[in-house]
Structure 1
């Protein structure tokens, strides 16, 4: 999903990042093509938002929309500097953003802990600025939390999963865990991409190491 250069593996600062724009330059679809609920929306009362980056966001969105209790998903850009970036800008590595999935979920049906388990088990969190052959900072492993409780639980889950990864022969987890500052929706053609393109290419890079509570 992009071309690799050494600069793409380094996060830019505010001075070197692309400047972006004050408003989004494209539209986003109004309804989730699988779940039927709004895409560009705040969560209903009592629901929560979680944001995860696991590499290529096409396949990862599908992984989350298939979970019972997930009300809506979208793909976008977060964790970086540039406001309202385009996909082409994110691919340069000069926005600092990762490709991420925004998940709106009903915590009475599926918990944040459940979503963390899906996150850890569906990629390799030890690969730094890549996932498989997808190389660059936009493919890094990242959790962007929306509450202090999520932050604490995500950090605890990372430490717990590190023990299991170490036992399986893997190295240090490189996942970034920090509060969400801004989320920018990706272009409409990226939303529910694998529903629109069921034979699209976006492999998962799971290690096969189970998250054991």
Structure 2
């Protein structure tokens, strides 16, 4: 076992408790998306926007977004924690503070941010805390990491709208973390577009079946 001190109490570590990490990535990032053929790493072409989401295991989550018209590229990674340049094993230890995340690079003239928010909410159960289905751990928490004050406001408004309809369907409080994006660390090569490379691989993504009243009509802006 790499980490005999694995966290079992399902709480996020304080910064001083987190693993030290490293100043440089522990592994290289693949050049191009296995489905879309676009570069994974930035800088991205002018006119595109970036959105970051955590909704459980990033294998299935990434596929939901790369299948969306208007999305230019996607990549799996780690976000929301303390440890710089973590590895998958370190994230799974519960000692980095990261969640499994998907970076979505998209053309806002083709797909508005509100439509991505709608897909995010409907693709998982955002009321489960440090869990998503059978996947249990702080790395499976629900999160939206925003890249502008406008997106922060839209994400919070979408949460409030979805909370109302979820309560009407018998669900509890949304536990989704919504805050400005910090560093995004790409995951290892084998995680990138995993379900394209492994079509029968595990996908733990599943929604509540409750429609989100957000992004149904196109919105102005990114």
Aligned residue-pair number: 210
| Deviation at residue 5 of structure 1 after TM alignment | 5.2
Question: 1:159 corresponds to which residue?
Answer: 160
Segments of structure 1 that go 5 or more residues without pairing to the other structure are none
TM-score, scaled relative to structure 1: 0.96
Give secondary structure in 2 for the equivalent of 1:15.
Answer: helix
Question: 1:149 corresponds to which residue?
Answer: 150
Conservation of the 8 A alpha-carbon contact between 1:43 and 1:49: no
Give secondary structure in 2 for the equivalent of 1:120.
Answer: helix
Question: 2:179 corresponds to which residue?
Answer: 178
Conservation of the 8 A alpha-carbon contact between 2:132 and 2:204: no
| Deviation at residue 121 of structure 1 after TM alignment | 0.1
Conservation of the 8 A alpha-carbon contact between 2:86 and 2:185: yes
Question: 1:37 corresponds to which residue?
Answer: 38
Matches of 2:69 and 2:206, distance apart in 1: 22
Matches of 1:177 and 1:57, distance apart in 2: 18
| Deviation at residue 43 of structure 1 after TM alignment | 2.6
| Deviation at residue 148 of structure 1 after TM alignment | 0.7
Could you say what the CA RMSD is over the residues aligned between the two structures, in angstroms? Answer: 1.2
| Deviation at residue 46 of structure 1 after TM alignment | 1.2
Question: 2:211 corresponds to which residue?
Answer: 210
Conservation of the 8 A alpha-carbon contact between 2:57 and 2:203: yes
Segments of structure 2 that go 5 or more residues without pairing to the other structure are 1-5, 215-222
Conservation of the 8 A alpha-carbon contact between 2:135 and 2:204: no
Over 3 Å off, 4+ runs: none
TM-score, scaled relative to structure 2: 0.92
1:32-59 deviations in Å (ceiling 9; x for gaps): 0100100011331111000000000000
Question: 1:13 corresponds to which residue?
Answer: 14
Question: 1:69 corresponds to which residue?
Answer: 70
Matches of 2:19 and 2:7, distance apart in 1: 16
Question: 2:52 corresponds to which residue?
Answer: 51
Conservation of the 8 A alpha-carbon contact between 2:20 and 2:83: yes
